[in-house]
């Protein structure tokens, strides 16, 4: 079946790197995404990676994909207070409208 | 206004009420979506519209009735809801269906059913 799992909570000190992990089950995934949801706001697409890629870097964000283990991670370098949010991992399936979301990881920034 | 807007932002209704949620996108997209976000559960896709035609309904109860009068507007009509329907309802749009998942989300309507 389709399932996306991620830990629910992560605390990181300001200035450190945050690593948010995700696992998915469907091997026919085409794209994998990271969305950010700030309090009172909708989901904002941060970055995505095509399933035949291993890594994608965009400024402070690095996405790593291990297709063999069906593991996706998001690394945020030099974490700032503005990074405090819920981060959702998601996958889309070839030929399907659906995007399957995880439950989200709440990132808490410690001073 | 830019992006995807939703009104109202908050709604409290009784189980016998009828209300509607509104979504508007100013991005020129052709596909629009309704999602339900409940606490501690993954986002659930409810409805997909492409060029104003409904293309997917993920077994949503009939007490939720979507309407898409044009490619910029999407409504969700609510009637005889249950307390378990309390959630954040998110609208999203994308250039086309199946378009790399670049869906742009609105801020959501926080619905409470008493």
pLDDT digits (tens, 9 = 90+) for A42-88: 888 899 888 888 999 999 999 999 989 999 999 999 999 999 999 99
Could you tell me the two tokens for A74? 């998001």
Q: Which residue of B has its CA nearest to A49?
A: B100
- Beta bridge partners, A22, equal A6, A72
Residue A111 contacts B, CB cutoff 8 Å: no
How far does the CA of residue B96 sit from the closest CA of chain A (Å)?
Answer: 10
C-alpha to C-alpha distances, B5 to A63, B2, B72, B91, B93, nearest whole angstrom: 29, 8, 10, 8, 11
Lowest-confidence range among A25-29, A46-50, B8-12, B65-69? Answer: A25-29
Best of B47, B98, B110 to substitute, by most chain A Cβ atoms within 10 angstroms, is: B98
Can you give the pLDDT at residue B51? 84
The answer to whether A17 touches B75, Cβ cutoff 8 Å, is: no
Neighbours of A5 (CB within 10 A): 14
Compute φ and ψ for A97, nearest 5 degrees: -70, -25
pLDDT tens profile B12-38:
999 888 999 999 999 999 999 999 998
The answer to whether the Cβ–Cβ distance between B101 and A44 falls below 8 Å is: no
B42 touches chain A (CB under 8 A): yes
Smallest Cβ–Cβ distance between A99 and the set B55, B103, B107 belongs to: B103
Average pLDDT over residues A94-101: 75
């Amino acid at each position: 079946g389709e399932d996306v799992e991620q830990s629910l909570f992560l605390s990181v000190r300001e200035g450190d790197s945050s690593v948010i992990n995700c696992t998915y089950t469907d091997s026919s995934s085409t794209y994998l995404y990271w969305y950010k949801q700030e309090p009172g706001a909708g989901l904002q697409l941060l970055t995505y990676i095509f399933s035949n890629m291993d890594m994608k870097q965009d400024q402070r964000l690095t996405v790593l994909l291990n297709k063999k283990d069906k593991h996706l991670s998001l690394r945020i370098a030099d974490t700032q207070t503005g990074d405090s949010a819920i981060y959702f991992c998601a996958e889309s399936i070839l030929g399907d409208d659906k995007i399957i979301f995880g439950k989200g990881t709440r990132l808490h920034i410690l001073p | 206004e830019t992006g995807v807007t939703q009104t109202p932002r908050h709604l409290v209704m009784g189980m016998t009420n009828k209300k509607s949620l509104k979504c508007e996108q100013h991005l020129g997209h052709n596909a629009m979506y309704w999602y339900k976000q409940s606490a501690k559960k993954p986002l659930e896709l409810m409805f997909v519209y492409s060029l104003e035609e409904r293309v997917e309904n993920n077994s949503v109860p009939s007490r939720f009735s979507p309407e898409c009068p044009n490619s910029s507007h999407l409504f969700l009509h609510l009637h005889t809801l249950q307390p378990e329907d309390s959630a954040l309802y998110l609208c999203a749009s994308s250039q086309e269906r199946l378009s790399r998942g670049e869906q742009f989300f609105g801020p959501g309507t926080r619905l409470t059913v008493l």
